[in-house]
């Protein structure tokens, strides 16, 4: 396949970069937040997303009858990577996960209610799959949904819901048929985050970012806010996770951190000798550079495979990219700490530290990336079964 961008694609990227230059704001753009920079968790970041919506850049790949442009996924990819490069909020859950799943499976009522708000950046979502006893194995979720008149009553606990403390709506999976096999009997619901039966408790991560526990206490959800067919929720979640594994783990921050490390190695010395002349250092940089190119191309392969508007996302390609890119990100963080020496333990933003302390924050953040959206072990299992055709028990 051709990995070069067309003239139209390069012109679009130049337009995006000009927009980002014109709207540069340290309150909005912070690359040191790594993957967490993608969320719109402050009024300033939400206002930035409104500007992005005004450009017509949300829903690029959506169908025209839902306000989209029916454009190629490569434009969405270029936009998201440019945003990630600056540490700006990205198109994220609303456009890439909730919106695309509603387009494929939602009722007309849900589409009419939510899709315009997503395109106008009027709404933020939290996603609730994980539970205290259902992390990587999302099909083991036990949040109980009991049928009542006109809807469902939900009780239980979700965990690791990153956006719950600022989101407007909760996209949540619950078990509607406890007697069905675990991959069946799960249904997706949309729940307003200001529901009085929801309690949000903060959990702080090693990356200095907040995630949350969310407790459901007799939370009523009307039938109108059931997403798709009853008991088919896990299938929809699997599709949405394919999108999350690609759109929420961007490549450009990895490249930026590699460039930062290379710049450091070019000028740093150790024991009076240039670090760049050390053969082991050169070997390590060469390997990281090669692996970065592999990650970039894996991302482009996903874009090519997902180019059809409204098509089901390609599962094996999503898992392959997510596995390789996030594990590479960890290896790069390790190398930055090793090559920078003891002073890399100084906190991010410390100007006298190697790479201004970026290695330290990267080291903490990148561990989270190999867990979110499904652990690396889960990605290996998906590739083994869906790409290589291996049996479930091998």
What is the tens place of the pLDDT at every residue in 124-151?
A: 999 999 999 887 777 889 999 999 999 9
Tokens of 156: 């239980």
Question: How do residues 23-54 score in pLDDT, each as one tens digit?
Answer: 999 999 999 998 889 999 999 999 999 999 99
- 256 and 361 in a single domain? The answer is yes
Distance CA 238, CA 158 (A): 18
Integer Cα distance of 241 and 318 in angstroms? 9
State both tokens at 159: 């965990």
Residue 242 lies in a domain: no
Q: What is the DSSP letter of 5?
A: P
Contact at 8 Å (CB) between 105 and 236? yes
Structural tokens at position 349: 């933003």
Decide which of 90, 116, 151 is a domain's last residue: 90
- Look at the chain and report how many structural domains it folds into: 3
* Structural domain of 368: 249-386
For the record, the structure tokens of 382 come out as 């998906």
Start-to-end CA span in the chain (Å): 33
- Reduced to 3 states, what is the DSSP secondary structure of residue 65? helix
For residue 244, is it within any domain?
A: no
User: Alpha helices of the chain — where are they, by DSSP H?
Assistant: 7-22, 43-54, 73-86, 92-93, 100-105, 108-119, 233-247, 252-267, 279-305, 315-340, 358-369, 376-386
pLDDT attached to residue 26: 96
CA 310 to chain CA centroid, Å, is 19
Whether 182 and 271 map to the same domain: the answer is no
Q: What is the CATH number of the domain that holds 323?
A: 1.20.140.10
- Whole-number pLDDT of residue 313: 63
pLDDT at 201 (0 to 100): 98
The confidence score (pLDDT) of residue 39 equals 93
Same domain, 213 and 294: no
Residue ending a domain, choose from 231, 264, 299: 231
Q: In terms of domains, do 153 and 27 share one?
A: no
Q: Which is higher by pLDDT, 1 or 28? A: 28
Q: CB-hemisphere CA count at 13 Å for 120?
A: 7
Which of helix, strand or coil describes residue 259? helix
C-alpha–C-alpha distance, residues 30 and 37, integer Å: 6
Distance CA(137)–CA(263), nearest Å, equals 41
- Whether residue 59 sits in one domain with residue 12: yes
Kindly state whether residue 145 falls inside one of the protein's structural domains.
yes
Residue 306: the pLDDT is 61
Tell me what pLDDT residue 303 has: 79
How far does Cα 47 stand from its chain's mean position? 20
b (16+ CB within 10 A) / e for 89-127: bbbbbbbbbbbbbbbebbeeebbebbbeebbebebbbbb
Q: Are residues 153 and 222 in the same domain?
A: yes
CA–CA distance, 29 with 163 (Å, rounded to integer): 18
Taking Cα atoms as reference points, which of 163, 116, 9, 340 lies closest to residue 348?
A: 340
| Nearest-angstrom CA–CA distance, 244 and 80 | 12
Of 90, 107, 138, the residue at which a domain comes to its end is 90
Q: Does residue 160 sit in the same domain as residue 287?
A: no
Domain shared by 34 and 71, yes or no: yes
- CA–CA separation, 275 vs 267, rounded Å? 7
Q: 288 and 213 in one domain?
A: no
Radius of gyration of the chain (CA): 21
Range list of H helices, 23-107: 43-54, 73-86, 92-93, 100-105
pLDDT in tens, 274-284: 999 999 999 99
* Residue 186 placed within a domain: yes
CATH value at residue 165: 2.40.110.10
115 in a structural domain: no
Phi-psi region at 40: left, alpha or beta (left = phi > 0; alpha = psi -120 to 50): beta
Contact 240, 101 (CB under 8 A): yes
CA nearest 231: which of 161, 158, 178?
A: 178
Same domain for 286 and 176? no
Share of the chain above pLDDT 90, in %: 74
Same domain assignment for residues 261 and 377: yes
Within a 10 A sphere around the Cβ of 269, how many other Cβ atoms?
10
Q: Determine, yes or no, domain membership for 95.
A: no
User: Do 219 and 257 belong together in one domain?
Assistant: no
């Amino acid at each position: 396949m051709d990995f070069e961008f067309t003239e139209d694609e390069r012109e679009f990227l130049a337009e995006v970069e000009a927009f980002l230059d014109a709207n540069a704001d340290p309150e909005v753009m912070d690359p040191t937040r790594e993957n967490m920079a993608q969320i719109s968790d402050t009024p300033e970041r939400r206002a930035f997303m409104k500007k992005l919506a005004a450009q017509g850049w949300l829903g690029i790949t959506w169908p025209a009858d839902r306000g989209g442009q029916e454009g190629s996924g490569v434009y969405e990819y270029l936009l998201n990577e440019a945003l990630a490069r600056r540490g700006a909020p990205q198109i994220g859950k609303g456009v890439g996960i909730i919106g695309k799943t509603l387009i494929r499976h939602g009722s007309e009522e849900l589409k009419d209610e939510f899709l315009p708000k997503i395109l106008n950046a009027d709404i933020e979502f939290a996603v609730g799959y994980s539970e205290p006893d259902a992390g990587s194995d999302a099909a083991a979720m036990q949040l109980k949904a009991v049928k009542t008149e006109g809807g469902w009553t939900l009780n239980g606990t979700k965990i690791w819901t990153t956006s719950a403390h600022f989101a407007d709506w909760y996209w949540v999976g619950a078990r509607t048929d406890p007697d069905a096999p675990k991959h069946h009997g799960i249904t997706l619901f949309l729940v307003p985050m200001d529901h009085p039966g929801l309690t949000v408790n903060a959990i702080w991560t090693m990356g200095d970012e907040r995630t949350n526990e969310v407790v459901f206490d007799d939370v009523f959800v009307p039938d109108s806010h059931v997403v798709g067919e009853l008991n088919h929720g896990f299938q929809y979640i699997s599709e949405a996770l394919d999108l999350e594994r690609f759109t929420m783990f961007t490549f450009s921050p990895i490249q930026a951190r590699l460039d930062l490390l290379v710049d450091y190695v070019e000028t740093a010395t150790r024991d009076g000798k240039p670090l760049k002349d050390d053969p082991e250092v050169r070997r390590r940089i060469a390997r990281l550079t090669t692996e970065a190119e592999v990650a970039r191309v894996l991302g482009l392969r996903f874009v090519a495979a997902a180019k059809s508007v409204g098509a089901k996302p390609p599962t094996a390609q999503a898992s392959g990219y997510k596995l390789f890119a996030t594990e590479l990100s960890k290896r790069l963080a390790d190398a930055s700490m090793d090559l920078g020496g003891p002073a890399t333990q100084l906190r991010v933003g410390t100007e006298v530290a190697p790479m201004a302390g970026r290695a330290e924050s990267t080291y903490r953040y990148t561990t989270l990336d190999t867990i979110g959206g499904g652990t690396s072990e889960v990605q290996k299992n998906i590739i083994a079964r869906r790409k290589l055709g291996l049996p479930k028990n091998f």
